Amino acid sequence: MKAAVTAHPHYVVSEIDPRLYGSFIEHLGRAVYTGIYEPGHPTADANGMRQDVIDLVRELNVPIVRYPGGNFVSAYNWEDGIGPKEQRPVRLDLAWHTSESNEVGLHEFADWCTCANTEMMLAVNLGSRGLDEARNLLEYANHPGGSKWSDKRIANGRKEPFDVKLWCLGNEMDGPWQIGHKTADEYGRLAHETAKAMRAFSKSLELVVCGSSNAKMPTYPEWEATVLDHTYNEVDYISLHMYFDNEANDAPNYLAMSEKLDAYIVSVAGVIDYIKAKKRSNKQVYISFDEWNVWYHSKEQDKKILGGSDGWPFAPPLLEDIYNFEDVLQVGLILNTFIRRSDVVKIACLAQLVNVIAPIMTVPNGPAWRQTIFYPYLFASNYGRGNALDLKVESPTYRSVAGDVAYVDVAGVHDRQTGHVTFFAVNRHSSEAIETVVDLSGFGAAEIVDHQVMAHADLKAVNSAENPGNVSPRKGEGAAVAGGKLNLSLPAYSYQFIRLRL
Ligand code: AHR
C-alpha cells in the first residue's frame, strides 16, 4: 500500500500553544499520595516529593498541570490544604469515596510544580461552593500582600505570590455525577459572575469555562451555546473532555475514534463562532481540552471502592489503567488531532499524569516506571512545538464507526526557531506496511536527525514495574530523504516519529 503527504512551510494551521501538551493531577487514588508525594520513599526530597517521579515528568516536558480536580474539586475546601500539616483536617472525598488527609495542598503542589518545571492550572470549586471562595483563593494565591488572604499565605511561609494565570471555573458542571451539578443556565450565570469577580482582581487572568463532559451528554451542544451566551465576553476558553475505550475489543473501530474527537472539536468551534457572531464580539474564545485519555481498563476493578463497600480508604489504587500497545496508537492519533486543530485547541491536558489513568506509574517504596503511552506523549510534547503544518494526505481508507478513515494518520510541525520539521505518523492497518512519500520540496534540503518507531506483534502487550521496557520505541530504519522527498515505510499497526533538520 502507498500514501503520499505534501508539506510546505507556507501552509500552516497555527502556531502551537505549548500548553497543548499539558497534564492533570487530581486528588484521586494514588495520584498524589504514593504518586508524586511519598515521604520516606528513598528518592523523596525534603518536602516528601518523589524525585524519581519528578525526573519522569521533566522528561515529558509538561508545560502545565491542572489541579486539584476533576470531580474532587467540586466538594473541595481549598483552605483545608493550607497551614501547619498537623492541623489540617481529614475530609471525606465524596467524588471518589475515599479519605483526604490534606497533607498536600496548594503550597506543596506549587513547590512540586517548580521542581517538575511546570506551571499550575488551578480549578475553583463551583459545585458545593461559589464566587466567594473562588475570589478568596485568588487573593490568597496571587495578591502580593497587605490583605486578609494574601497575609495568610505569607504567614504560611510563602512570601511571593503563586501568580497563577490559568483558572478553571469548576469541573464538568453538566454531569449529574458532579457534586453541585447545575443546568446550563444556572452554571452559566454563576460562571459569569465568578469570572467577573476574578477579572475585577486582575484582567490578565486566563479563564476556562466548563463545556461538555463528552459529546454523548444529552445536553451537548446546547450546553456550550447556553454557557457561552452567559460568559462569552468574560472567558478565554471553553473546556471539553473525552475518554476513549475499547470495551468492544474492536481495534479498527477503536482506532477510528479520533475522527469523532475531530468532529467534536469542529462542532464546538462552530458553537463558539455562533455565539461570537450573536454577541457581535471581536474577541475569540478557544478550546481547552483539559481532560483526555484512554480510560476503561480499570473500570471493573474500581467498582468496589467507588460503590463504597470498602468504606473510606486513604489513597487506594483507583483508575490504574495498565495501557497496552494499542493505546500507544490511540494516544498518538489523539495528539495528532490536537496538532491539526491547534488553531482552535490551545490547551489540552492528558488526564492524568501519575498512577491515575497515567503515563507514569509508581510502586510504593519502589520504582517509578513508564507506561506504553508515555512515549507518544513524550515525542509530541518535546518535538511538537512550532507551527502545525496544514498537510495534504492521500491515503487508502477503511470503513468504520466514524465513516471512512485513512489508514495513515499524520501530523507535522515546523519549528522555525530551531530549523526542524517533525512528523508523527500512525498506520492503522492491521497487516500491511504503507510506503509513504512526503513531499518536502518547499523546505529545501533536509536530513533525518531522529527516527523512532513503536510496533509490537501483540496489540495487548503492556509494560510493568518488572518489565518496563516491553513496549518502547526502537530506532527507525530505512527512511531517507532524496530529491526533496522523504521516503518512509510505516509498518502495520505502528506509531512513529521522525525529525528532520533543515
Ligand atoms: O480524570 C478522571 C475524572 O474524569 C475526573 O475527575 C472528571 O473530571 C472526569 O469525569
| 72, 76, 171, 320, best to mutate for ligand 1 pocket (most atoms within 8 Å of CB) | 171
In one letter, which amino acid is 414? Answer: H
Alpha-carbon distance 209 to 231, whole Å?
Answer: 8
Q: Residue 351 C-alpha to ligand 1 middle, in angstroms?
A: 8
What per-residue confidence (pLDDT) applies to 459? 98
- Report the pocket of ligand 1 as residue ranges, CB < 6 Å: 26, 69-71, 171-172, 213, 291, 351-352
Alpha-carbon distance 178 to 357, whole Å?
Answer: 19
Say which residues have a Cβ less than 8 Å from residue 332's Cβ, sequence separation at least 6: 376, 380, 409, 424, 426, 495
Set 38, 100, 291, 326: catalytic member: 291
Q: Could you tell me the three cell numbers for 450?
A: 531522529
Alpha-carbon distance 383 to 16, whole Å?
Answer: 11
pTM of whole model > 0.75?
yes
Please report which helix (H) or strand (E) contains residue 420, including its range. strand 420-427
Q: Residue 402 C-alpha to ligand 1 middle, in angstroms?
A: 25
247 is catalytic: no
Q: Residue 30 C-alpha to ligand 1 middle, in angstroms?
A: 14
Q: Could you tell me the three cell numbers for 189?
A: 450565570
Q: Residue 71 C-alpha to ligand 1 middle, in angstroms?
A: 6
HSE value, Cβ hemisphere, 13 Å, CA-based, for 204: 4
Backbone angles phi, psi at 54, to 5 degrees: -55, -40
What per-residue confidence (pLDDT) applies to 235? 98
Query: For atom 9 of ligand 1, which residue has the closest CA?
Result: 70
In tens digits, the chain (502 residues) has pLDDT values of 999 999 999 999 999 999 999 999 999 999 999 999 999 999 999 999 999 999 999 999 999 999 999 999 999 999 999 999 999 999 999 999 999 999 999 999 999 999 999 999 999 999 999 999 999 999 999 999 999 999 999 999 999 999 999 999 999 999 999 999 999 999 999 999 999 999 999 999 999 999 999 999 999 999 999 999 999 999 999 999 999 999 999 999 999 999 999 999 999 999 999 999 999 999 999 999 999 999 999 999 999 999 999 999 999 999 999 999 999 999 999 999 999 999 999 999 999 999 999 999 999 999 999 999 999 999 999 999 999 999 999 999 999 999 999 999 999 999 999 999 999 999 999 999 999 999 999 999 999 999 999 999 999 999 999 999 999 999 999 999 999 999 999 999 999 999 999 9
Q: What is the dihedral of CA 166, 170, 175, 179, to 10 degrees?
A: 150
What per-residue confidence (pLDDT) applies to 275? 98
Work out which ligand 1 atom sits closest to the CA atom of 293. 1
172 is catalytic: yes
Given the DSSP bridges, would you call strands 64-67 and 480-482 parallel, antiparallel or unpaired? unpaired
Residues β-bridged to residue 346: none
What per-residue confidence (pLDDT) applies to 131? 97
Residue with cell 458545593: 128
